[in-house]
């Protein structure tokens, strides 16, 4: 296992602090017409952080010095066994999927049915769209025929260094793509990727439902291509990589997320109360359980906190498919006594949005615990 130094709860390693005290934005980044204006937007917070030496030392001392994050490989599951003639192998594969969802909340799948050609195509188109001028990306409805608000960058509500996100993304409702008849190479690549991954998501959801002792058409009826989202992510190089997240710690507000990432790495998750770094595997897709599946399974399947750390020298790309229901879908625990009260997906999204706006971060499922009030 490899180890790397990283940050936890806004505390940084002693080795990385020196980069902050001599913060000086690279001229190339400042002049780039495609990168978001991170330095300009975060200037006050970055400069303010230079004066935090005393609190930094206190934080590092409390943690016993640098924070060590192990790099580990997620459980790898070969989905080819699901199509084999051996019934025992099929059941073993299903059991492994359920076990990983319970114990990790994350796992990898190989022989998943998404061709390397589709993955290469969407990566090429992804890199092309992010190279477009920033002024065009923020007008995504005009230049890319995406819904207004699809393009996102940074963390507008950040009040401290640990709330920053050094990244940009297109968070695309698939309704923007469906029926576009491949009007351009980007929408064509997205449609090919999404249609293939959608089938995979349905299959995994039905397996997880089956392993909870249920059999229904719930996911087929409520999680449609038109209710799901695709997110194209780019994490630019960040010279303060140990201090700033590419994406803040969070859980996903869906049933399942299917992720394809490049070889750069940076994805981390909580396992047994500790952050671990996920070792990249270019042949695999990463699957993680979302909040809705944790609620539906009555806490059996785990929606695990995860984050993305920045890299000092190279950019990172990933593509995420979010398996979501329609807004009016009712989420109810499949067993009794229920841990969470019933709620609609719209209610959940609204509560998350309010918490982020009012508190600066998501609270999520604790808001919906049965007979429990989460005080603010």
Distance CA 67, CA 219 (A): 41
Q: Is 165 helix (H, G, I), strand (E, B) or coil?
A: strand
- Edge-to-edge strand order for the sheet containing 229-235? 76-78, 106-110, 285-289, 256-261, 316-323, 229-235, 168-173, 151-153
Which of 72, 74, 68 minimizes the C-alpha distance to 4? Answer: 68
Distance CA 92, CA 210 (A): 13
Neighbouring C-beta atoms of residue 145, cutoff 10 Å: 15
Length of the chain as a residue count: 376
Tell how far CA 97 is from the center of its chain: 19
User: Would residue 316 show up in a list of annotated catalytic residues for this protein?
Assistant: yes
**Phi, psi (deg, nearest 5) at residue 211:** -70, -10
Dihedral sign, Cα of residue 164, residue 6, residue 362, residue 177: positive
DSSP state string for 47-96:
HHHTT-HHHHHHHHHHTTSSEEEEEEPPPEEEGGGGGSS-HHHHHHHHHH
DSSP state string for 224-244:
-GGG-EEEEEEE---TTTTTS
Identify the active-site residue in 152, 307, 316, 367.
316
Q: 294 with 303: CB under 8 angstroms?
A: yes
Q: Is 255 helix (H, G, I), strand (E, B) or coil?
A: coil
Distance CA 365, CA 354 (A): 14
Dihedral sign, Cα of residue 112, residue 180, residue 288, residue 292: negative
Distance CA 14, CA 2 (A): 19
- Beta strand ranges found along 243-349 (DSSP E): 245-250, 256-261, 267-271, 274-278, 285-289, 306-309, 316-323, 330-331, 343-344
Q: What residues are annotated to the active site?
A: 316
């Amino acid at each position: 296992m490899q180890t790397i130094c990283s940050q936890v709860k806004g505390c940084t390693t002693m080795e990385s602090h020196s980069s902050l005290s001599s913060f000086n934005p690279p001229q190339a980044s400042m002049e780039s017409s495609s990168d978001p204006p991170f330095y300009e937007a975060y200037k006050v917070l970055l400069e303010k952080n230079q004066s935090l030496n005393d609190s930094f030392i206190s934080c590092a001392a409390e943690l016993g010095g640098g924070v060590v994050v192990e790099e580990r490989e997620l459980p790898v599951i070969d989905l080819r066994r699901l199509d084999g003639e051996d019934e025992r192998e099929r059941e073993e594969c299903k059991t492994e999927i359920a076990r990983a969802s319970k114990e990790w909340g994350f796992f990898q799948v190989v022989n998943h049915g998404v061709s390397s050609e589709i993955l290469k195509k969407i990566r090429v188109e992804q890199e092309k769209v992010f190279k477009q001028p920033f002024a065009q990306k923020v007008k995504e409805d005009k230049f890319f025929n995406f819904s207004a608000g699809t393009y996102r960058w940074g963390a507008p509500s950040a009040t401290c260094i640990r709330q920053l996100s050094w990244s940009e993304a297109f968070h695309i409702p698939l309704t923007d793509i469906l029926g576009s008849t491949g009007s351009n190479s980007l929408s064509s690549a997205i449609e090919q990727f999404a249609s293939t991954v959608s089938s995979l998501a349905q299959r995994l959801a039905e397996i997880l439902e089956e392993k909870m002792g249920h059999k229904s058409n719930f996911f087929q009826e409520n999680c449609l291509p038109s209710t799901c989202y695709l997110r194209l992510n780019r994490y630019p190089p960040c010279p303060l990589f140990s201090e700033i997240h590419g994406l803040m710690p969070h859980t996903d507000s869906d049933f399942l997320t299917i992720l394809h990432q490049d070889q750069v790495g940076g994805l981390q998750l909580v396992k047994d109360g500790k952050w671990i770094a996920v070792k990249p595997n270019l042949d695999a897709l990463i699957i993680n359980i979302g909040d809705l599946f944790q609620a539906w399974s009555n806490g059996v399947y785990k929606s695990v906190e995860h984050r993305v750390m920045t890299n000092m020298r190279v950019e990172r790309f990933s593509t995420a498919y979010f398996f979501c229901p329609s807004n009016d879908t009712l989420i109810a625990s499949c067993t009794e006594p229920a841990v969470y009260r019933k709620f609609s997906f719209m209610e959940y999204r609204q509560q998350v949005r309010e918490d982020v706006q009012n508190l600066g971060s998501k609270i999520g499922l604790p808001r919906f615990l049965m007979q429990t009030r989460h005080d603010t």
